[in-house]
Amino acid sequence: MNKHIEIKVCTGTGGIAAGGLEVLERFQTCIEQAGLKAKTLTGCLTHRVGCRGLCARDVLVDVIIDDQKFTYQYIKPDMVERIVEEHIINGNPVSEWLVTEDYLSFYNKQQKVVLAMCGEIDPEDIESYISHQGYRAIEKVIKGMSPEEVIDEIKRSGLRGRGGAGFPTGLKWEMARNAPGDEKYIICNADEGDPGAFMDRAVIEGNPHAVIEGMLIGGYAIGAKRGYVYIRAEYPLAVERLKKAIEQARHKGYLGERIFGTDFGFDIKIKLGAGAFVCGEETALIASIEGKRGMPRAKPPFPVQKGLFGKPTVINNVETLANIPSIIIKGADWFASFGTEKSKGTKIFALTGKVKNTGLIEVPLGITLREIIYEIGGGIEGDRRLKAVQTGGPSGGCIPASMIDIPVDYESLARAGSIMGSGGMIILDETDCMVNVAKYFLQFTQSESCGKCVPCRIGTKRLLEILERITSGRGKEEDLKKLEKLSNDIKASSLCGLGQTAPNPVLSTLQYFRDEYEAHIFEKRCPAGVCRDLLTYTILEEFCKGCGMCLKVCPSGAIIGEKKKPHKIIPEVCIKCGACFEVCKFKAIKRG
């Protein structure tokens, strides 16, 4: 029984949180035990693999026996024994644990370029990457292309920065190459700070070598000998894997002096971010790598002219760099065959919120929001009504349900009042209050403002205060005008991208959901039932069975009543936490 057996267990952050490491360990022990008994499982491998996207169903496990792949979902350690016994030893897959049909629909509309190897290779083993054509691109570049040819290829591919603003990557490289100076740097921005986005984490966790190789090629193209990866300390697993990958690459001679026996030398240092969203801004990021407070400075000069330590510097985002090796290997034309006229290639999104299939997706640019939400995402949770799609995080905006047939590309999203951003895509449904969403983002940007410039430091604070007034029922008619004026003034006069985009969530919700604002201000009502100060909870006597559950969970002692008799909420004591509402099995509690 000389079968080739491979078992792949998802151990990204999501996988690990769901117990991936325990599942993996259990597989290893079970196989060992089984092996000891039957001595037949010699060809079996267990792998760590990175995120394959559908984290909501973790732990996901692939069992591959002689090229026949079965995928299990929601696997817990105590389920492993049965899979080993029935499937691996006896050849009968455990059908009730296998992924369902909708699992496949999650992948159908996707186009994996950057994520192609995530979930397939072992991110902690460089050989695994090499066996998938790894480091072939840099070899091709070093041995057969001039820096100008590399830049030309990237320009032709139409690749644009995946960090948000969408600046053409090849052009950026060219500017840095042409900037005077013998010392230059390339920085990989992995300080993914947008709340609700985890593309970069997943890419580094799943395929760190692609990023390294992308930096190598970039370094070669612009004439840099040193690269930095600026990565969030909040991503310990990604940092760990990246460190390992860099060490392995050095060991293999892909990093260091005389790479492939040529004069080209390049090495990478990791700098850990220390928790400041504004450091995603290029000049702030540079200040932070230099060990200073991450305060942005005015541009020009741009980093490509005067960047890290005053030297020409290219800053590319993780996803941008991870695209590079494929473009070099498969060619600019291949890459340009995906996407639209102005937005080429694919884009990774973190699809989250009120959608059934949450997770990481990679789609060709130009796909519609509808396709993403309803085909890949499987529709809205609980089959509620879609209200809006938030893209671009705190710098982006909310696109209303009526516009979900627009294509996803840089220009269309901008026209809709949002931005592509780094790839956060949050689906909001009828139970989400748009004023609250705007307030949430303002809370975020306000607390992350560096404080250097007045409009951002004080302006966002005032915006937030106005929104707080509105959501707590103290809003006035003039507040709407004030919000609009202040938002526009902050956008126009702030120093860096953070302030210049911070009002976007306010402006886009004002544009599409003005009625919700008006309901808060004039009717003192939150239509979605979210804003606590505007809610009242009452018990409908006719439904209340007097079970006492609500009384038990009420944290403020606002509910009274005898067992088996209808209960009552004392409004003065109620803190509107909603605990009773959630716990009631008889829908006897009314919120409004």
Partner 1 sequence: MIKVKIDGKEYRVKPGITILQVARENDIYIPTLCDDPRLEPYGGCRLCIVQIKGMPRPVTACTTPVTDGMEITTTNEYIEGLRKTIVELILSDHPNDCMVCEKAGDCSLQELAYFYGIRTNPYYGERRRYTTKDNNPFIERDMEKCILCGKCVRVCSEVQGVGAIEIAYRGFTAKVTPPFEKDLNCEFCGQCVSICPTGALMGKSSLGKGRQKDVKKIETVCPYCGCGCNMTLHVLRNEVIRVSSRPDNFHEGWLCVKGRFGFEFINSPDRLKRPLIRVKPRDKNSKELPVPDLNDFREASWDEALDLIANKLREIKDKYGPDAIAGLSSARCTNEENYIFQKFFRAVIGTNNIDHCARY
Partner 2 sequence: MEDKLETIYKRFKENEGNLISILQDIQEEFGYLPEKAIYWFSEQLDVPPAMFYGIATFYSQFYLKPRGKNVITVCSGTACHVKGSEKLINSAIKELELPEDSNTTEDGLFTFEKVNCVGACSIAPVVIINKKVFGKMSAEKLVKELREIKKNE
Q: Whole-number minimum distance, CB 416 to partner 1, in Å?
A: 19
20 binds partner 2 (CB under 8 A): no
Interface residue list for partner 1 (CB under 8 A): 276, 278, 293, 297-298, 300, 446-462, 465, 482, 485-486, 489, 491-495, 500
Query: CB neighbours of 488 closer than 8 A, spacing ≥ 6?
Result: 503, 507
448 binds partner 2 (CB under 8 A): yes
Q: Among residues 69, 251, 292, 514, which is the contact residue for partner 2, using CB under 8 A?
A: 292
Of 322, 382, 377, which is closest to residue 346 (Cα–Cα)? 322
Q: Whole-number minimum distance, CB 460 to partner 1, in Å?
A: 8
- The SS3 of residue 295 is coil
557 binds partner 2 (CB under 8 A): no
Q: Among residues 164, 307, 393, 475, which is the contact residue for partner 2, using CB under 8 A?
A: 393
**Separation CA 452–CA 262 (nearest Å):** 46
Of 126-134, 251-259, 444-452, 518-526, which segment contacts partner 2 by CB under 8 A?
444-452
Q: Which does residue 588 bind out of partner 2, partner 1, none, counting CB within 5 to 8 angstroms by kind?
A: none
**Separation CA 448–CA 498 (nearest Å):** 9
Answer whether 365's CB lies under 8 Å from 340's CB: yes
Give whichever of 26 and 177 is closer to partner 2, judged by the CB atom. 26
Q: Which residues sit opposite 569 in a β-bridge?
A: 559
Q: Whole-number minimum distance, CB 401 to partner 2, in Å?
A: 16
Give whichever of 353 and 527 is closer to partner 2, judged by the CB atom. 353
**Separation CA 207–CA 360 (nearest Å):** 14
Strands 424-429 and 386-391: antiparallel
261 binds partner 2 (CB under 8 A): no
Q: Whole-number minimum distance, CB 109 to partner 2, in Å?
A: 17
Q: Which does residue 449 bind out of partner 2, partner 1, none, counting CB within 5 to 8 angstroms by kind?
A: partner 1
Binding track, positions 148-187, relative to partner 2; x by CB under 8 A: ----------------------------------------
Q: Could you please report the per-residue DSSP string of 364-399? A: ETT-BHHIIIIIIS-SBGGG--EEEEEESGGGSEEE
Q: Whole-number minimum distance, CB 436 to partner 2, in Å?
A: 9
Q: What are phi and psi of 386, to 5 degrees?
A: -70, 135
Q: Which does residue 350 bind out of partner 1, partner 2, none, counting CB within 5 to 8 angstroms by kind?
A: partner 2
300 binds partner 2 (CB under 8 A): no
Q: Which does residue 134 bind out of partner 2, partner 1, none, counting CB within 5 to 8 angstroms by kind?
A: none
Give whichever of 332 and 360 is closer to partner 2, judged by the CB atom. 360
Q: Which does residue 352 bind out of partner 2, partner 1, none, counting CB within 5 to 8 angstroms by kind?
A: partner 2
Q: Which does residue 345 bind out of partner 1, partner 2, none, counting CB within 5 to 8 angstroms by kind?
A: none
**Separation CA 93–CA 91 (nearest Å):** 6
Q: CB 167: neighbour CB atoms within 10 A?
A: 13
Of 13, 190, 203, 177, which is closest to residue 123 (Cα–Cα)? 203
Q: Which does residue 283 bind out of partner 2, partner 1, none, counting CB within 5 to 8 angstroms by kind?
A: none
Provide the token pair at 528. 């979605």
Provide the token pair at 19. 């117990």
Q: How far is CA 581 from the centre of its chain?
A: 32
Q: Which does residue 186 bind out of partner 1, partner 2, none, counting CB within 5 to 8 angstroms by kind?
A: none
Report, in angstroms and rounded to the nearest whole number, the Rg of the chain calculated over CA atoms. Answer: 26
Counting residues that bind partner 2 (by CB under 8 A) gives: 61
Give whichever of 338 and 444 is closer to partner 2, judged by the CB atom. 444
Q: How far is CA 223 from the centre of its chain?
A: 31
Q: What are the percentages of helix, strand and coil residues in the chain, rounded to 5? A: 45, 15, 40
* Amino acid sitting at position 411: E
Q: Which does residue 255 bind out of partner 1, partner 2, none, counting CB within 5 to 8 angstroms by kind?
A: none
Query: CB neighbours of 454 closer than 8 A, spacing ≥ 6?
Result: none
Give whichever of 46 and 443 is closer to partner 1, judged by the CB atom. 443
Q: Which does residue 13 bind out of partner 2, partner 1, none, counting CB within 5 to 8 angstroms by kind?
A: partner 2
17 binds partner 2 (CB under 8 A): yes
**Separation CA 397–CA 390 (nearest Å):** 6
Q: Whole-number minimum distance, CB 260 to partner 2, in Å?
A: 26
Provide the token pair at 396. 């982006």
Q: What are phi and psi of 72, to 5 degrees?
A: -105, 150
Give whichever of 135 and 198 is closer to partner 2, judged by the CB atom. 198
Which residue shows structure tokens 């030309």?
152
Give whichever of 65 and 199 is closer to partner 2, judged by the CB atom. 199
Answer whether 212's CB lies under 8 Å from 255's CB: yes
Q: CB 531: neighbour CB atoms within 10 A?
A: 23
16 binds partner 2 (CB under 8 A): yes
**Separation CA 159–CA 415 (nearest Å):** 20
Q: Map the footprint of partner 2 across residues 358-377, applying CB under 8 A.
A: 358-360
3-state secondary structure string, 202-220?
HHHHHCHHHHHHHHHHHHH
Q: Which does residue 493 bind out of partner 2, partner 1, none, counting CB within 5 to 8 angstroms by kind?
A: partner 1
577 binds partner 2 (CB under 8 A): yes
Catalog residues that contact partner 2 under the rule CB under 8 A.
13-14, 16-18, 54-56, 58, 192-198, 201-202, 233-236, 269, 271-277, 288-294, 350-354, 358-360, 390, 393, 424, 426, 428, 432, 437, 440-441, 444, 448, 450, 555, 577-579
